Structure 1
Amino acid sequence: MQLALAMEIITGAKIRLRTRKNKYLTAGSDKESVRLERDGSAKQAVWTVEFVDGKSSIRIKSIYGKYLTATNEPLIPKAKGHKVLQTLPERLNSSTEWEMESDDTFGKDKLLRFKTHYGQYLRPYGGLPPFRNKVGHDVPCRTQTEDKIQWELEILETGDR
């Protein structure tokens, strides 16, 4: 299936994004933060997809009506990655746009990568604090970490088309 067709299918859809370690991308109840949680049944784990007119990008909207946004803010001081937040900018811009990439678009695994306008990828972080359950964006530095930027797409409800 072509990526453009896949984008058409998920436009307006309610989705969940799951990491390879079975954690879900969730909107923080503070209506700003984004984190990873094991409970995918929580309403904060449900996102809506919007197609960006005239581009091959999407916007991902939280249950709070805010967009998944790549920021320039460091994830933690002196770290390579940058924060991803929920925001509602006055004007929607490229920081709220994500390009979907896949080696086998919506094949059996539905594994996707989400790339910012600047070539960085939505990435889950794990391990010990302060990285535990954080979500950011950066470029993987080794081929061993490339699978960490893959997300499994779960379509809960298709869009109104």
Structure 2
Amino acid sequence: MELLQGAKIIRLRTHKGKYLTAGDDEESVRQDRDGSTKQAHWTVEFVDDKNVVRLKSCYGKYLSATNEPIVPKTKGHKVLQTLPTRLNSSIEWDVEKDGSQLRFKTHYGQYLRPYGGLPPYRNRVGHDVPCRTNTEDKIVWEFDILEYVDETKY
């Protein structure tokens, strides 16, 4: 977690150079090549446990792992922006370091990952367990720290 130490706002980039972005509908989460927009900025909230974070979109909603499939009858599940009435494990992500990159894992062992290819998968983001070694690189995220916590306020 030392890679995110002091981070207040970050942006996440896939292995294909696309950014994790909050959809304009304030619910969906997608990938986009333009990382300069506010939709690509995620506020980091550290949970008491050192390796757990919550990521909040520019709309004030949390990056949430759902049980809803990305496409019916597939194993990948949707990731959405939500504002739960109570903070719970669906909005908490265990952070694992992989060199200078990060993996984000749900409490149920599934990883945040981008999807690609033909529609309906193109530019989607979901969570699941990679089943082959050639998909393991898809669950690592490069990150940029855009703003640090102002420690002088404390």
Q: TM-score, normalised by structure 2?
A: 0.94
How far residue 150 of structure 1 moved from its aligned partner, in angstroms, is 0.6
Per-residue CA deviation, residues 32-90 of structure 1 (Å, 9 max, x unaligned), is 00000011111100110000124531000000000000000001101110000000001
- C-alpha displacement of 1:9: 2.4
RMSD in angstroms over aligned alpha carbons?
1.1
Deviation sequence 1:134-155 (CA, Å, 0-9, x none):
0000000011110000100111
The residue number in structure 2 matching 1:154 is 144
1:40 equivalent to 2:35? Answer yes
2: CA distance between counterparts of 1:72 and 1:100?
Answer: 20
1:9 aligns to 2:6 (yes or no): yes
- Give the secondary-structure state (helix, strand or coil) at the position aligned to 2:6: helix
Equivalent residues of 2:69, 2:76 under 8 A apart = yes
What is the CA–CA distance in structure 2 between the aligned matches of 1:102 and 1:142, rounded to whole Å? 20
Q: 1:145 aligns with which of 120, 128, 135?
A: 135
Shift of 1:159: 1.6
- The one-letter amino acid paired with 2:11 is R
Matched with 1:132 is: 122
Off by >3 Å, runs of 4+ in structure 1: 5-8
Residue 114 (1) aligns with residue 104 (2): yes
2: distance between equivalents of 1:9 and 1:95?
Answer: 24
Question: Is contact 2:51-2:96 (8 Å) kept?
Answer: no
Q: Report the equivalent of 2:58.
A: 63
Aligned residue number for residue 29 of structure 1: 24
5+ residue gaps, structure 1: 105-109
**Length-normalised TM-score, structure 1:** 0.90
Identity of counterpart residues, as a percentage? 71
More strand by share: 2
